[in-house]
Structure 1
Amino acid sequence: MTFNLTEQQWIPVVTQDWQYQEVSLIEMFERWQQLRELQAENPPTTLALYRFLLAILHRAYQGPRTVDHWEEISEDNGQQAIAYLKEKAECFDLLHPTQPFMQDIALPEQSSIPIYNLSLMQADNTSTVFCHEHQWTGYSISLSQASRLLIRLQSVDPTSLRAFYPPQSKGNRSAANTPTINAANIIVCGSPLKEMLLFNLMQYNPTAEIPSVVSGEDLPTWETGYTGQPKKAIPNGYINYLTYPWRRLRLFAQGAQVSQIAITMGHSLPDGVSTSQWECGIAFREDKPVRLSMERQLWRDAHSFLQSADKSNRPRIIDWWEKLRYEELVENTIHLQIFGLCADKAKPLGWSVEQFSAPVQYLTERDLWNVLSIGIKIAEDHQQAFRSFRGSPYYALAQGLNPPTTGGDAISKHALSLAAALDGASRYWAKLDREFYRFLDELPQDATTGADGITRYGLNKLPDWTNTVQSVAQEAFKESIASIRNYQARALALRSLNSLLRKLWGEKSGKAA
């Protein structure tokens, strides 16, 4: 029995009329001009599939080395990718007897586990975060689903204790986080699917060490094999990194269904080695990925995605996209999808996919980006209104609710509990979320060119934004204390709030000037 991914239908796509279909690898490249996007069963799997397809394109075209080569790839319309898939078809057989796709036949069936937890992305303690079906119900998945699961586990999977790799029976068996975990992973959007993939096809020029140094042959791991004792190893290059064997996996199929999977730790990077030298879809601050938080609005890190600064680097795919924009090969607005899977060690907390769009000027106009960064900083600073430090509005509220003889430590504890219970911060960020995107869109038009020929941004919109932030902070705080019936305590809190807002207004006005 075979299940070859080049011929079998397993890639989930959305057509131009919004219909869901599954297609084979070859069919996808044949029809990618008529398809809208990928859409798997969850965002982490969708992200993993994009990275997988990009690795195929890089391998097939050995590029794009230059902007001209990128145009040639676009004009070729996937034909070279199809030829590669036909030549290497044996590498993509999920049930190959000696080298099954993304699997290690050294893993025995007795070390396998029910596929339930992994396919539904649950923690090892069978926590029902994402579903309510028990794992011991004979749960199984199709070969198409199993193919997507393998790709997701090799690309987007949190750390966890796994079975020992044979013949090991003691020592370390902890599989490390894949680099995509807890990170904001950027995909540049386009339509059709061909455009979306090409927009994310990073410049690949090994001779110039772009995007990374290449040592030896930079091959996808499906050509070299996902077998062998796990070890700490440096990827040979960018293609090898995109297909790095973070896990050792083996499916155990019964006919067309899979209910068991063996999984152990795979390779990991040597200690102290950062993924920033290979990763092109993640922004980095001080060599650490910009994290994705389930409790933090994406736009609060928008400046990190749009430009690089001291100790901060935007995703390198944005650098490449800017070059394509300079040659007028892409549009004037950049549209991003940001994928993420947040996890606390081995426990997945939740996944997300968010949309973010910005005028292209933010990528090229440093002064405009600086004003945007100041605007975001203003919003962050006003979060002080919802904290519990001594002198804060919630601290003043706690003082008003307690007898005058109450000690400072007790007041501080009460203020902390009030800040958590009343949660004005959530109201603040939710209200500001609606206002930020208006500020983002209107700011590039607020441009004034002086007699010195220098264009300055935000002379009107930045003060307006500061006023909006102050109004939203005041409104959110008032709503948060509306249930407090001690009017004297509320008055003390509002007095403290107004004092804080006046102080912040003065600081922001000084910085803007």
Structure 2
Amino acid sequence: MSRFNLIDEKWIPVRFLDGTRDELGIRDTMLRSREIAAIEDPSPLVVAALHRFLLAVLYRALEGPTDIDQAKVLFKAGLPGEKITAYLEKWRGRFCLFDEKHPFYQVFAYEPQENNGKKEWKSWPAIAAEHNASNAKVLFDHVEIATAGPIPSRMAARWLIACQTFALGGGNSDFAYTKSAPSATAAMVLPLGVHLHDTLLLSLVPENREVLKGDLPIWEREPVPLASLKKGIARSVMGVADLYTWLTRSIKFHLAGNGETLSELAFASGVACSSENRVDPMFGYEIDVKWGKRPIPFRDRGMWRDFDSLLPDESHLAPEVIEHATALTRSNRDRFPRSVMVLGQANSKAKIEYWRMERFALPEALAGDRFIRTEIRQLLSAAEETQKSLWLACRSFARNLLSRGEREPVKKDISGFVEPRDICSSHPLRGTLRQG
């Protein structure tokens, strides 16, 4: 029996323009997107993953856009509610969290391994990065893995999508060695419109018509054979909808009761990505001398110091969503995205170092015909030089203070004195770029 259909059930957390909050199903989120200010969740990973999921739905429901002209018509006319509703009804059976044949984003044929005649189900924190002690135990997180108890299915749905989007590779599983999600380790960029309707359309980058035909999201694909998953399977990315709904992990929710809660699940490796030179529309890129073109990750410093990487220029290394948003609003300045959100996580191999969400004001000059990336880079370089001078001055002060004229202090003591002052984060340019 099918339970908890994501089309109808309330599970997507939203904030309306009037400040009130609620949770909606897929259909109502789409149809009421002009009333919604933003998707909001305590987890940046959930927020990013939900946007990518909704964009995948739109690519398939709208069968486009396939070029900028089609995108502009759509931006002017708005999301076609009837077309979206018809698409969701066509695939209704694939959006049930619990289903006898096609549970959403899961591998139904998967049963966990047995130990002494008992199946070894894992508790739900296995899919929740912020609560998973195996790779990201958090201070003040009081969830005990062994006795985590149940969570509402609406939360399980959010974590399921986030896990498939951000899972890190490393370690054996019931099947094969686990691999990272194609999108797991870079900073994701999302231009923000005046409401969710515009936010989604600003990131709906046109896709080639022929590519679009074979660009199937997870719910339109036939299940991957269990034998292939156990052996270890890899394939290339077929398009944006495919990329945004990649089966990184083989997961199966254990139905207990009426499907309103989840306690246990099966969890193993999924499909590895063999596309080395794929371009993710939400990623900014940089040229590495050794590795060539690579997505920009979160570093051990504020993202504002790499802000120029978000801005378009003739190199076309900026996120495609930013280039698309500026092209879409060039003749409609009132709908130009005033800010951009950067979300994701930083990792050390299979360990999550931190997850982050930052928000910046987007220069309105982008809506014109000129590039400003070089100018921003010059400002950032000046800020770097200022920071370096301040750092050296503080180190000199610390050395003199700690030596008391009698000894040469060790470098560790000097760094310990200077680093807590967080000199770089107080630079005025940071405040100029940041928003919220």
- TM-score normalised according to structure 2 size: 0.85
> In 1, are the aligned partners of 2:135 and 2:352 still within 8 Å (CA)?
no
By how many angstroms is 1:151 displaced? Answer: 0.8
Q: Given the alignment of the two structures, is residue 421 of structure 1 paired with residue 410 of structure 2, yes or no?
A: no
Are positions 1:292 and 2:298 aligned together? yes
Tell me if structure 2 keeps the 8 A contact 1:280–1:315: yes
1:141 aligned to which of 147, 151, 172: 151
1:382 is paired with a residue whose SS is helix
2:360 is equivalent to residue 356 of structure 1: yes
Matched to 1:58, the amino acid is Y
Whether the 8 Å CA contact 2:304–2:433 is kept in 1: the answer is no
Alpha-carbon offset, residue 122 of structure 1: 2.3
Aligned with residue 127 of structure 2, among 118, 121, 134: 118
Select which of 239, 242, 249 maps to 2:241.
Answer: 239
What corresponds to 1:467 in structure 2?
none
Q: How many residues align?
A: 413
AA aligned to 1:227 is V
Letter in 1 for 2:332: E
Q: Is the 1:116–1:259 Cα contact (8 Å) retained in structure 2?
A: no
Alignment of 1:232-311 (within 5 A): 232-255=234-257, 256-270=260-274, 273-275=276-278, 277=279, 279-286=280-287, 287-293=293-299, 295-308=300-313
Q: Note the alpha carbon deviations across 1:37-77, whole angstroms, 9 max, x for none.
A: 11134111111000000000001112112333224434243
Amino acid at match of 2:20: Q
- Is residue 281–residue 316 contact of structure 1 (8 Å, CA) maintained in 2? yes
- The 1:234–1:216 alpha-carbon spacing in structure 2 relative to 1, beyond 3 Å, is farther
**What's 1:105 paired with?**
108
CA distance in structure 2 between the aligned counterparts of 1:304 and 1:219, rounded to whole angstroms: 30
| 8 Å contact from structure 1 (residues 55, 242) kept in 2 | yes
Distance 1:132 1:54 in 2: 34
8 A contact 1:306–1:363 mirrored in 2: no
**Structure 1 residue 309 displacement after superposition:** 6.1
Q: What is the CA distance between 1:440 and its match in structure 2?
A: 9.6
Deviation digits for residues 180-216 of structure 1, max 9, x if unmatched? 33x2211110132211111111112234xxxxxx397
Query: Partner amino acid for 1:14?
Result: R
What is the CA–CA distance in structure 2 between the aligned matches of 1:57 and 1:306, rounded to whole Å?
25
Pick aligned residue for 2:221 from 213, 224, 249: 224
Question: Which has more radius of gyration?
Answer: 1
The aligned residue for residue 158 of structure 1 is 168
What amino acid is the match of 1:378? A
Aligned partner of 1:496 in structure 2 is none
If asked which structure has higher relative contact order (CA below 8 Å, sep 6+), I would say 2
Q: In structure 2, how many angstroms separate the alpha carbons of the residues matched to 1:350 and 1:12?
A: 22
Q: How does 1:424-503 map to 2 (within 5 A)?
A: 426=422, 428-432=423-427, 434-438=428-432
Identity %: 22
Checking the alignment, whether the CA contact within 8 Å between 1:386 and 1:423 is kept in structure 2 is no
Query: Aligned pair in 2 of structure 1 residues 96, 386: CA closer, same or farther (>3 Å)?
Result: same
Distance 1:206 1:397, change over 3 A: same
- What is the DSSP-based 3-state SS (H/G/I as helix, E as strand, rest coil) of the residue aligned with 2:98? coil
Larger proportion of helix: 1
In the aligned structure 1, how far is the partner of 2:387 from the partner of 2:334? 37
> Which residue is equivalent to 2:35?
34
Q: Report the Cα offset of residue 377 of structure 1.
A: 0.8
List per-residue Cα deviations over 1:265-286 (Å, max 9, x = no partner).
1122228x134x2x01110102
Work out the CA distance in 1 between the residues paired with 2:213 and 2:68.
25
Counterpart contact for 1:387–1:419, Cα < 8 Å: no
Q: Deviations over 1:8-65 (max 9, x none)?
A: 2211111222222111111222222222211134111111000000000001112112
CA–CA separation in structure 1 for the residues paired with 2:400 and 2:66: 65
For the residues of structure 2 that align with 1:415 and 1:124, how far apart are their CA atoms? 34
Tell me the equivalent position of 1:510. none
- Compute the displacement of 1:126 (Å): 7.5
Match of 2:290 in 1: none
Q: Supply the RMSD in Å over aligned alpha carbons.
A: 2.9
The one-letter amino acid paired with 1:95 is F
Q: TM-score normalized by structure 1?
A: 0.73
Which secondary structure does the structure 2 equivalent of 1:36 belong to? strand
Q: Describe the SS at the equivalent of 2:252.
A: strand
Partner of 2:52: 51
1:340 and 2:344 are equivalent in the alignment: yes
**Counterpart amino acid of 1:96?**
D
Q: Report Cα offsets for 1:364-396 as digits up to 9, x if no partner.
A: 5657432221110111123333667xxx76368
Aligned residue identity for 2:217 = P
